[in-house]
């Protein structure tokens, strides 16, 4: 397989195993695509699927995935800690082998057009696929949640969706599709019940607050555990590593009188972002070599053909 992409659709469902099983099967039934990892978070009420495969097959798998999520999830009844604007909230394409970022942007647009036309879900393009610079960043599109994006669609000319209707789908909301570099989702759990502690740390360490480069962060409650979490996205691990992000949280948490319970990686990480000491140094739970993208791909018969 000389042409490979990775896709990491995020779904606004983290509690109904039947729905998640249906979505996993919709991927597994498509030849030339493999489901490498599924991370389920009941507190966030969100799941992250990591897929790899040939681009054309991936496009088919993702359309089936979005269609099945539209049928199985109702955003009107969704209550979770993670921001979201759609049952399938975001669908990033990442080039792996023999495919350029520009081509991934093209695949994003083709998929978005089909989703808008056939499923009636408004689609916004982001990152390298964005055609409206204002909307390149995911957090800008998500600002204000469902009501915020619908208000902008109603009142601002620059917020007409790239594809699909100019109104949110009643149960599926919208979907953001695009192309980007590898992103590492990394969460650090604090021994605290005070959400303001997590939020203060997040504000201090993230790029927008003058902290570390290529780092997004927010404070999140974990009701099932009675704890709080600093939830981070490392948008370029070459600029800010997992270890640097952890150390920043550790430094700020100590300053505020909190300690770190553990950390977790959501999904898979590239080999270049990993070293053997990370599980110990970062207090990572249930995380080892099988969380490396290249290792998981090597375990799949599909990629040895």
pLDDT digits (tens, 9 = 90+) for 172-182: 999 999 999 99
The alpha carbon torsion through 266, 267, 270, 271 (nearest 10 deg) reads 90
Q: How confident is the model at residue 238 (pLDDT cuts 50, 70, 90)?
A: very high
- The full set of domain ranges for the chain reads 4-179, 184-298
Q: Which of 71, 82, 169, 254 is catalytic?
A: 82
User: Which pLDDT does position 268 carry in this prediction?
Assistant: 96
User: 267 in the Ramachandran plot: left (φ > 0), alpha (ψ -120 to 50) or beta?
Assistant: left
**Residue (of 66, 86, 67) closest to 76 by Cα position:** 86
What is the Cα–Cα distance from 195 to 207, expressed in whole angstroms? 20
Cα–Cα separations (whole angstroms), residue 299 to 61, 105, 148, 182: 21, 28, 43, 20
On the 0-12 / 13-18 / 19+ scale of CB atoms within 10 A, 154 is exposed
What's the chain's average pLDDT?
95
What is the Cα–Cα distance from 271 to 273, expressed in whole angstroms? 5
**71 counts as catalytic:** no
3-state secondary structure of 204: helix
Asked if 177 contacts 123 with a C-beta cutoff of 8 angstroms, the reply is yes
Backbone angles phi, psi at 269, to 5 degrees: -125, 150
**Residue (of 287, 304, 301, 293) closest to 51 by Cα position:** 293
What is the Cα–Cα distance from 44 to 83, expressed in whole angstroms? 9
What is the Cα–Cα distance from 38 to 48, expressed in whole angstroms? 6
Taking the chain, what is the end-to-end CA distance rounded to the nearest angstrom? Answer: 7
How many percent of the chain have pLDDT more than 70? 100
How many percent of the chain have pLDDT more than 90? 90
* Half-sphere exposure of residue 63: CA atoms within 13 angstroms, side-chain side: 20
What is the Cα–Cα distance from 10 to 38, expressed in whole angstroms? 10
The architecture CATH gives domain 4-179: 2-Layer Sandwich (3.30)
Of 115-119, 178-182, 236-240, 275-279, the poorest mean pLDDT is in: 275-279
Tokens representing 70 are: 């539209």
Residue 18: pLDDT above 90? yes
Cα–Cα separations (whole angstroms), residue 89 to 31, 263, 267, 302: 24, 24, 16, 28
Classify domain 184-298 by CATH number: 3.30.70.670
**Overall residue count recorded for the chain in this entry:** 305
Supply the pTM of this predicted model.
Answer: 0.95
Beta pairing, strands 88-97 & 10-11: antiparallel
């Amino acid at each position: 397989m000389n042409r490979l992409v990775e896709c990491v659709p995020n779904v606004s469902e983290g509690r109904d195993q039947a729905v998640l099983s249906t979505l996993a099967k919709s991927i597994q039934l498509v030849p030339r695509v493999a489901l490498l990892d599924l991370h389920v978070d009941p507190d966030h009420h969100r799941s992250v699927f990591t897929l790899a495969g040939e681009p054309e097959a991936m496009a088919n798998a993702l359309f089936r995935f979005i269609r099945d999520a539209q049928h199985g999830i109702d955003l009107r009844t969704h209550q979770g800690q993670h921001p979201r604007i759609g049952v399938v909230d975001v669908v990033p394409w990442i080039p792996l082998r023999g495919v350029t970022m520009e081509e991934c942007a093209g695949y994003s647009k083709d998929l978005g057009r089909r989703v808008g036309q056939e499923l009636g879900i408004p689609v916004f393009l982001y990152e390298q696929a964005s055609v409206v610079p204002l909307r390149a960043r995911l957090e800008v599109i998500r600002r204000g949640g469902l009501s915020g994006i619908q208000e902008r669609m109603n009142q601002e000319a620059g917020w007409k969706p790239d594809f699909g209707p100019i109104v949110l789908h009643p149960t599926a909301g919208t979907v953001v599709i695009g192309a980007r570099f590898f992103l590492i989702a990394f969460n650090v759990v604090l021994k605290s019940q005070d959400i303001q502690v997590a939020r203060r740390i997040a504000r201090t360490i993230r790029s927008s607050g003058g902290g570390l480069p290529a780092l997004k962060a927010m404070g999140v409650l974990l009701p099932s555990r009675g704890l709080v979490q600093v939830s981070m996205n490392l948008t370029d691990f070459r600029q800010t590593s997992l270890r640097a992000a952890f150390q920043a949280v550790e430094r700020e948490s100590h300053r505020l009188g909190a300690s770190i319970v553990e950390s977790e990686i959501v999904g898979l990480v590239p080999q270049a972002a990993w070293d053997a000491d990370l599980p110990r140094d970062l207090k990572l739970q249930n995380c080892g070599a099988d969380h490396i993208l290249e290792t998981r791909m090597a375990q799949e018969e599909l990629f040895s053909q």
